[in-house]
Structure 1
Amino acid sequence: MRVIVSGGGTGGHITPLYAVIQELREENPRVEILWIGSKSGPERDFAQRHNIPFEHIAAGKFRRYTPNGLDFGGDPSSIGQNLIDMFKVPIGIIQAYFRIADFMPDVIFSKGGYVSLPVVIAGKLLGIPTIVHESDVIPGLANRIASRFATVVLTGFTEAKKYFPIKSNVRFSGNPVRSEILNANREKAFAVFKFQPAKPVILVTGGSLGASRINQVVMGAIESILEIAQVIHLTGERDWVKIAPHAIRLERFGYRAYPNLTDNMAGALAIADLAITRAGANTLSEFAVLGKPMIIIPLGSGAGGHQEANAKIFTKHGAAIIINEEKFDGETLLRQIKELINSKEKLADLSKNAKNLAHPNAAAAITREITHLASHRSNAQLKTISHRA
C-alpha cells in the first residue's frame, strides 16, 4: 500500500499526522509513505528526523479569516499577502500533481492546513481517493474548500459536520494521538525532569508556537505558583530568549522551562497534575486521553473562533475550566490553581470527564478508513485490468 500524507505549518497538524503514520506502519510494516508539505514549515525537519520521505510544494496561506471565509476588511498587510499567496496555490497544485503522479499512491490522507489544499485538489484531478481530517469544532477555510474534493471527511468533533458544505461524506473519527503519549513512563519522567513525586506538577503550554499572553501572566505569578507546585513551562521560540534567564534562576525551586519539548512531551504529560493551555484541538485531545485536568485560555474570536468553540465542548461536559483572555491575569490564575490543587475531588471530576471525551483509538479508526479506500481502489484497478484482458 502506498499513501501520501499532507499537512504542516504548526504542531497541531504535524503531531496527529504522525500518529496516523505510526498506526499505518504498525498495521502494515510494508506501507510506503510520502509526506508532502511546505519548504519552510516545521514538518520538513520533523519528517526527516523520523525517516519519512518528504517532498515540498509551494503553498499560499489565507490570513485574517472568519467562520464565513476571508476577511478582506482586515489588516492591509494581510490582504496584500493573501493576494500574493493566491498565486502560489495554482503553482502548488501543479507541483503536487507531478509529485502524486510520480509516487502514484493508493490513498491521500490530508491533515489540513494551507499546504494540503493543493495536494487534495491535485489528487482529485488524478482520481486518487482522498481523506481530509479536521481536528477543530469549526473547520478551517482550507479544509472547507478541500472537503469539496475529498472522498471522505473525518472529524475530531461530531459538532464539526454542520460546517461542511457537503455533509454526506463526513464521518466522525476523533483526533489521533501519538503512541508515545499513551505509553509514557511516569517514574522515568520524574527522573528526567528531576521533580519530587509528592509535589503537584503543572504543565504550561501555549501550543507549538507558544503564547505570549500566557507566558506573561505565568511569569508574573511564577514565584507564588512555585510555592504550591512544580512547573514545566513550554514558552515557544518567540519568548524563550526573555524567559531563559528566569529559568536558570528558578530551577532550584522546581521550575523547568523549554522553548518546546520535541522528545519529552510524553513525559511532561505523564507527570502533569494540571495543565494550563490554549485550546488547540490536538493539544486538548492529548490531555483528554490521559485525563488531565485543564485550565484553558482560548484565543479569542479574532482568530476565527476555533479555540473558543473547542474549549466550550470541554467546559460543557465538565472537563475543563475556561478563563477568557480578557479576564486572564496573575491573580485569577493563581486563585484557580489553588482551588484545583487543594481539591482532589474537583481534579478527579475534571479528569474523569476529560477521559470521557477522549478517543484513544482515533488513529486506528483513521487507518481503517485509509486501508478500506486503498483496497477498494486496488479492486477497481484489478477489475479494469481483467475487463481489458
Structure 2
Amino acid sequence: MTAPTPTAPGLTPAPQTQPFAAEIIANVARVLVGKEDVTRLALAAILAGGHVLLEDAPGTGKTVLARALAASLGLDFRRVQFTPDLLPSDVTGVSVFRPATGTFEFVPGPIFTGILLADEINRATPKTQSALLEAMGEGQVSESGVTHRLPQPFVVIATQNPVEHEGTYRLPEAQLDRFLLRLSVGYPSLEQEVEMLARLQERHPLQDLRAVAAPADLLAAQAQVQQVTVSSDVRRYLAALAARSRQHPQVTLGGGPRASLALQGVAQALAWTQGRTFVTPDDVQQAAPGVLAHRLSLGIEARMQGLSAADVVREVLAAEPVPVEKGPGERDMGERGTGERGPSERNTAEVRGA
C-alpha cells in the first residue's frame, strides 16, 4: 500500500482504526465534500466483493464518487453512458472476423476493467441492462459460446435517476438483486456546498487525485474481510431481518437468501473498516437499509399510502429483537427492537465468536 495522502483541513474521515479505509475515505473526501458515510458504505460494498447502485437526482456527485473510488484504489476505470440505443455488445465486447487469418477475434468491451461506471443505467433497454447480469454475478462474459474471465477486482458502480424522470426504464428485480447496495449521495448542506464552490472555482481536484492503494491491496483487504467473525447470534439476527422483510404485510417480495448473504458481507466489511475482527448488530443495522430496501417490492396498498421500501426496512429493524448479552458466557435475544436499544446494550452486543 502506498503512503497515505495528507488530509486537507476539515476533511478528516470519521474516527476509525483501519488505515486502509481511512486513507480511501479521506482521499475521496478531497473531491466529494461531506459524504464520508456514503463513501464508507460504497467502500464496504467493494470490500465485500459486490456492486453498487447509486440512485439520486442528476448533479449530486454520483459520477464523482465512482471516479474518486477508482482513482483512490488504483483501479482501471471506464465509463459507459447508457442510452436507449446502446447494445449489449457495446458493453461486453464482440467477435470480429479477421480476413488475414480467417478467424474470429474477440474484442473486449469496456466491461473489462477494474471499475465500470454504468452511468444512467435505467436509460438503457432491459436487454442491455441484462447484459451485465452474468458479469456481475459470475465475473465473466460469454460471447459466441466462449467464456472470457473479467479482471479481478471487478466492480460495477451504476447510477440511475429516479424512475419518475422522463425517458427511464425500471430495472428488473433480477438485476436489482445483483447490486449489493443501493445508496443515495444526497444534496450537500449549505456550508458543504459553499466549500465545494470554493474548491472547484479553478481546477477540479479530481484531476489531481492519486492512488493511495493498489489493486493488490484491495484483493488482500477483501480476503481479510471474509475472515471477520460473525457469531451465531448475529448471523441469526441478520437472517431474521431478511425473513421479517418477507413477512411484512405491505411487501409482495422481500429479501431472499442473497439478501442475507449481502447483509452479512457488508456487515463484515463495515466491522473491518473500523478495525474489528467481529461483527456487531450495529454493523448489521448500518448495512440493512442499503442492502434490503432495493430488494423489496411493495403492494398497491403500501404505494397508495405513500409507504416506501426504506420505511419498511425501518419498521423491520425496530421490530426485530437485537442480540444482547444475557450473562457471563451466555448470549440471548433481547426483547426490544432497535429503536429502544441503549448504548449499554450496543456494547454488550459485540459478540466475538460463534
Asked if these proteins are the same fold (TM beyond 0.5), I'd say no
Relative contact order (alpha carbons < 8 A, sep ≥ 6): 1 or 2 greater?
2
Q: Name the one with the larger helix percent.
A: 1
